[in-house]
Amino acid sequence: MTKAAGREQVFPIVEAFGYAADADTPESRAARKTQTCPFTRTLCEKMVQYRYGYCSLTYAAADDENQRRTYAVCDHRLDGGPVDTAIVDHFGARAKYVQIIPEVSIAEPRMSFDYSAITLDASGTITDVAVIETQAIDIRGGGVGPAWRAWLDGSSDRWREYYTAEALTKKRKDKVTYGVNMANIYKRLGLQVAVKGTFLKGIKVPLYVVMQHRPFEYLRRRITFQEANGAWDLTFMTFDYTGKKNADGTLEFAHVQTIRSTLADYVAAMTAASMSDRGAFLDRIKRKAGLTD
């Protein structure tokens, strides 16, 4: 079986509305009926914005040596337990008094932060603060819209037929071409951590990055920052699927590792990674200009 064929024969969607796609529990049925997310306890944001409510996909990336893995493709999959773990890490016993404020934006420099966790004194003055960024992975390629429609129709076992029907309607090849954009983790998240980390260090606010462990491994192979021995500015907390299903139909997503670094070491490692890309970039220019042998 080829890699492409293997991809086409496995239902792509692993979680929908926060529960295993094949779960049949009171909780999973209620989430499907109300289209709510158990991690945010609100309406599924992806469903509201894009009409898709899947949380994770299965995919065998080249970086995985063709071993199929589950990838979280919605940042809210990192909400709930993973964000709470970061809060406990920073605030300790004070975690029960923490208020979490989502999507705090500033105008200069223009940026936003997923969550700001704060504690207050009796007068309402902020006594401590930490910023938490959650990071999933993006989908590339043709997407999994047909598989999602099959799931909504209760026809997951016939999902491949939905791709065929869409291909006929749109007059294109009948293929399943979705993937996960591992490279974007380095390009987008790598720079965001440096930019946001620099701003936050200047105002003495620690930055937590909460993400899935497998994409973090890819990021760290590209940006080979060292762990801090003493004080730190950045904390990466990673989580991953264990393969276990909870009684309510959710999938276990457990803490794997906590890695801390200084901003200076992270930026130095990112700069070194960027310089290693210089040769490849110049080669691309030469090929485009017809200057290669």
Listed in sequence order, the residues at least 6 apart from 37 whose beta carbon sits closer than 8 Å to its beta carbon are 17, 18, 31, 43, 44, 45, 76, 79
Q: Helix, strand or coil for residue 194?
A: helix
Contact (Cβ atoms closer than 8 angstroms) between residue 102 and residue 86: no
Q: When comparing pLDDT for 274 and 285, which is higher?
A: 285
Q: Which of 108-112, 127-131, 234-238 has the lowest mean pLDDT?
A: 108-112
Q: Where are the chain's structural domains?
A: 3-141+180-276, 145-177
- Cis, bond preceding 215 (omega within 30 deg of 0): no
Rounded average pLDDT over 16-35: 97
Q: What confidence tier does 6 reach under pLDDT thresholds 50, 70, 90?
A: very low
Average pLDDT, the chain: 92
Query: In this predicted structure, what is the pLDDT of residue 293?
Result: 65
Q: What is the pLDDT of residues 36-65, one digit of tens each?
A: 999 999 999 999 999 999 999 999 877 777
Q: What is the pLDDT of residues 163-201, one digit of tens each?
A: 999 999 999 999 999 999 988 888 889 999 999 999 999
